[in-house]
Amino acid sequence: MKKSLVVASLLTATALSSFAQAATAEQKDTQWQKNHPRREQVNKRLAHQNKRINNEVKSGEITKTQAAALHKEDRQIRQEERDMASQNGGHITKQEQKTLNQQENKVSGQIGK
C-alpha cells in the first residue's frame, strides 16, 4: 500500500512540475526564438498571413483558387527563408529579413483584393 502511495505522489509531483514548466515556457521566448529572432519574426508574419488568407476565403472575399495562389507564394517565401538560414548556420541576416519582409508585403497587399 505504501508503494502505491509513493508512486501516486511521484506521478502527481511530475505532472505538476511539467505543468509549471509549460506555463513558464509560454511566458518566455524559447531558446530557438532567442537564437533566431529574425527567423521568428518572418515565420510569425507568414503564419499571420496564412490566417488572413483563410479568413478571407471563409468570408467570401477571395476564392479558393486565389487563396491557393497566395499560399503558394507564402510557401515559396518560407522555403527561401529556410534556404537562407541553412547557408548562415541557422540564422538569417538583417538584409535577408528585409528581403523576405518585402516579399511578404507584396503577398499581404494581395490578400483581400
pLDDT tens for the chain, 113 residues: list them: 555 555 555 445 554 454 445 444 445 667 756 678 899 999 999 999 999 999 999 999 999 999 999 999 999 999 999 999 999 888 999 999 999 999 999 999 998 66
* Angle, helix 64-87 to helix 37-59, in steps of 10 degrees: 170
Give the predicted TM-score (pTM) of the model: 0.68
Residue 22: its pLDDT value, please? 46
- Number of other residues whose CB lies within 10 A of the CB of residue 85: 18
Residue 72: its pLDDT value, please? 96
